[in-house]
Structure 1
Amino acid sequence: MTNLKPIAIQLYTVREAMAQDWIGTLEKIAEMGYLGVETAGFGYAPSVAAAVAKFAELGLTVVGAHSPLPLGEQQAQVLETMAALGASRLICAGTGRDQFGTLADVKERAQTFNEANAVAKANGLSFGLHNHWWEYTMVDGRRAYDILQEDLDDDIFFEIDTYWVQSAGFDAATEVAKLNERAPLLHIKDGSTKQEDSMLAVGSGVMDVPKIIAAGTNAEWLVVELDRCETDMMTAVKESIQYLTREGLGRGR
């Protein structure tokens, strides 16, 4: 495969290791060959600035940040964090299952996301959405996520969690192709795709990872994320990048 996409890791994956030794964990991630990180809070570090300094020291690009929405009382804190982080992509990690239950719920979510996008743009940021499986449940005979997309601003991007698309009963590669022009980040994970099961190292489950990555021609980064794992997490994280680089699916160091 030509034009290999660089490989990053969503740090939520290694949250337990980070809580014990965040500096050592980041050093191991860099040693494994990861080129970037995606953040999901900074409770492990004394400050955002300290984390940013370590990322820079290790040559880890910050590809985006999972963050609360930049609205209401949390707006100032979110924008302050993004400024300190120096990343341009602010990503809503997801919302509760109950917020996609009815057509009115979906419409309300779209309005809220558009408001968040306006704030992000006004502050030099791009705003995107990360999915779970429940955005793909049926509402009035249609997938909730399809309804949502019709009402979203055109410049909101999608970070497609390919595993959860498949878990919802749809072909992940088809969804990546559908949203390709608005999908700069792909979440890559593996496992049985059964919602109750933990995940496995990329390349060890049922996901057709080569097909998924091939469909994402517009993707700028492949982001490994394992919400929980059947095996030792750090081992799975290492095996994931080894698989992606060995099979010529992505680029490490």
Structure 2
Amino acid sequence: MAPLGVQLYTVRDALSADRDATLGRIAEIGFTAVEPYDPTADPEGFKRVADDLGLTVMAIHAGQLLGDEPERVLDAIATLGTDLAFVPAGIPHEEFTTRDGLARTADLLNGLAGKAAGHGIRLGYHNHWWEIEPVIDGRHAIEILADQLAPEVLLELDTYWAAVGGADVPALLERLGSRVVALHVKDGPVKRDEPHVAVGQGAMPVPEILAAAPGALRIVELDTCATDFFDALAVSRAYLTELEAA
């Protein structure tokens, strides 16, 4: 079984207050991997603390790759010790509503993937709802985008936002196939503006989703939460560990 990770955006407030203590709490809960979201924030120091705690950097969100200095960002990602970086947003939502916009998006990601490869890094894209909601000729926009991506460009499917966008998530995963190398596993009422809950306590069909992408990395995230974030992470880990062991 692949390591179970946490997208650190979940604990962003605690992280900004005390990075090292927050990473320590993640490790205490029993997680063995993390997915940071700001590669250029002291990558050497972050790697040192993560290593000391036995935490692997399994992947990273790197929206900064869309900025003026992608090479600097790629250097930081390499320092963190992961070879897997996802662009999590930053492309205008409107680009996902037309075939021309999707073609431009594919060109952008394909070009970035070439730069990333020069640093030994695999590049992918991470969705929200706006890449799912537009349906063109009966297919979700992200599926049309996938057709135009170079084979080396990967996907990290945020399963919750895919559901909010109207997808049958297990079926979408089946169609996207091996291009999906990581999942954001999250739960809630599947309504855009309501808080997320611990995995296993909401409306998401989590067992069916995981079964549809058995080889993908599992990364827990709560964008929002009505309860304590660390408590919700602990409940999520217990549920997923039991589910995957069954």
Normalised by the length of structure 2, the TM-score is 0.92
* Percent of residue pairs identical: 36
Query: Which letter maps to 2:46?
Result: A
TM-aligned CA deviation for residue 140 of structure 1: 4.1
TM-aligned CA deviation for residue 129 of structure 1: 0.9
TM-aligned CA deviation for residue 236 of structure 1: 1.0
User: 2:82 corresponds to which residue?
Assistant: 87
User: 2:173 corresponds to which residue?
Assistant: 176
- 1:119 and 2:127 matched: no
- 1:229 and 2:239 matched: no
Q: How does 1:39-118 map to 2 (within 5 A)?
A: 39-41=36-38, 47-68=42-63, 70=65, 73-94=68-89, 95-118=91-114
For the residue of structure 2 that corresponds to 1:132, the secondary structure is coil
Query: Which letter maps to 2:143?
Result: D
**Is the Cα–Cα contact under 8 Å of residues 125 and 154 in structure 2 kept in the other structure?**
yes
- 1:155 and 2:130 matched: no
Separation of aligned partners in 1, 2:39 and 2:73: 12
For the residue of structure 1 that corresponds to 2:73, the secondary structure is helix
Separation of aligned partners in 2, 1:200 and 1:71: 31
Query: Which letter maps to 2:82?
Result: A
Separation of aligned partners in 1, 2:245 and 2:87: 25
**Is the Cα–Cα contact under 8 Å of residues 8 and 35 in structure 2 kept in the other structure?**
yes
Structure 1 residue runs without a partner (length 5+): none
- 1:204 and 2:212 matched: no
Separation of aligned partners in 1, 2:74 and 2:25: 29
For the residue of structure 1 that corresponds to 2:77, the secondary structure is helix
**Is the Cα–Cα contact under 8 Å of residues 69 and 116 in structure 1 kept in the other structure?**
no
Separation of aligned partners in 2, 1:179 and 1:23: 37
Question: Which stretch shows the higher mean deviation, 195-204 or 174-183?
Answer: 174-183
Query: Which letter maps to 1:75?
Result: P
After TM superposition, the runs of 4+ consecutive aligned structure 1 residues lying more than 4 A away are none
User: 1:36 corresponds to which residue?
Assistant: 33
Structure 2 residue runs without a partner (length 5+): none
User: 1:5 corresponds to which residue?
Assistant: 2
**Offset from partner CA, 1:144-178 (integer Å, 9 cap, x none):** 11221111101111111111111111111112222
Separation of aligned partners in 2, 1:96 and 1:230: 29
Normalised by the length of structure 1, the TM-score is 0.90
Query: Which letter maps to 1:231?
Result: T
Query: Which letter maps to 2:74?
Result: L
Separation of aligned partners in 2, 1:250 and 1:22: 31
TM-aligned CA deviation for residue 186 of structure 1: 1.1
**Is the Cα–Cα contact under 8 Å of residues 190 and 207 in structure 1 kept in the other structure?**
yes
**Is the Cα–Cα contact under 8 Å of residues 78 and 119 in structure 2 kept in the other structure?**
no
Q: Taking CA–CA contacts closer than 8 Å with sequence separation of 6 or more, which of the two structures ends up with the larger relative contact order?
A: 1
**Is the Cα–Cα contact under 8 Å of residues 39 and 62 in structure 2 kept in the other structure?**
no
For the residue of structure 2 that corresponds to 1:165, the secondary structure is helix
Separation of aligned partners in 2, 1:195 and 1:143: 18
